[in-house]
Amino acid sequence: MRIDGDPGFVLHARPWRETSLLVEVLSAGHGRLGLVARGVQSPRRQPLRAALQPLQHIRFDAVLAGELAQLRAAEALDAAPLLAGEALLAAFYVNELVLRLAPRQDPLPELLAAYARTRERLRAGEPLAWTLRRFERDLLQALGVGFELHCDGDGQPLDPAARYRLDPEHGPRRLLSDRGHGERNAAATGAALLALARDQRPAPEDLASLRLPLRAVLAHHLGPRGLKSWDMAAALGRLAPRR
């Protein structure tokens, strides 16, 4: 099957054989798609190789046969964000989440739109913790495994002053007041969840409470193998919600 002029974003590229690349893209028409880009390591194909860097917005032609497609042409549609430090690690995390959780060859317009928004927020230097929490929320919704953030798993309105763990199957579950300190620290405040539902940045302490509960939901869907970006963040002490 021919693919003509499909727009998308490059998630990952790695060398394959001597002169080629294996490229993963999130595309509009075909969802997450693996591309074989033959011969792009040669000097005369440097413009094509430059268009296949992670975070690049491209339009491409390919021939799909089985799980992988043979890339025929690609052009950059804009300049990829120039990121460094924590922002670069955040971008790696976003790309890794999509690579691990988005199904192959299944168009997900909501995920594509969420990725595009997050890419521009990273380019603009918006606060990383809030940018990542919004993407995690949107990713779960786009994959059909998100949940209501205005009420708990029993349909009761959230209490801004209470704390809630996030059950991957049933949504927010209110913690009892006598729970241990560790469990309370791994639970989100009701105020934070309500702010996330409204897409309004919560107060710093509430924003910080979202990271571990959302990570637990993502870990449930990822299975026993975690993310390389989590290991990198732990080693570097980064991706913590400081801003």
* 65: containing domain: 2-76
Could you say which DSSP state residue 107 is in? -
Residue-wise pLDDT for 214-225, tens only, equals 999 999 999 999
Looking at the fold, whether 46 and 104 belong to one and the same domain comes out as no
Could you say which DSSP state residue 199 is in? T
Strand order in the sheet with 188-189: 171-174, 163-167, 188-189
> What's the structural domain count of the chain?
2
Question: Looking at residue 36, which CATH number applies to its domain?
Answer: 2.40.50.140
For 71, the token pair is 């890339």
- Domain assignment of residue 9, yes or no: yes
In this predicted structure, the answer to whether residue 174 has a pLDDT above a threshold of 80 is yes
Residue-wise pLDDT for 31-53, tens only, equals 999 999 988 776 667 778 889 99
Residue-wise pLDDT for 225-240, tens only, equals 999 999 998 877 644 4
Identify which of 112, 89, 92 has the alpha carbon closest to the alpha carbon of residue 25. Answer: 112
Residue-wise pLDDT for 86-140, tens only, equals 999 999 999 999 999 999 999 999 999 999 999 999 999 999 999 999 999 999 9
Looking at the fold, whether 101 and 160 belong to one and the same domain comes out as yes
Q: Please give the average per-residue pLDDT across 64-72, as a whole number.
A: 92
pLDDT confidence of 242, banded at 50, 70, 90?
very low
* Cα separation, 73 vs 106, whole angstroms: 22
Out of 76, 105, 133, a domain closes at 76
Looking at the fold, whether 54 and 97 belong to one and the same domain comes out as no
Torsion sign, CA atoms 132, 138, 142, 147 = positive
Query: Count of residues for the chain?
Result: 243
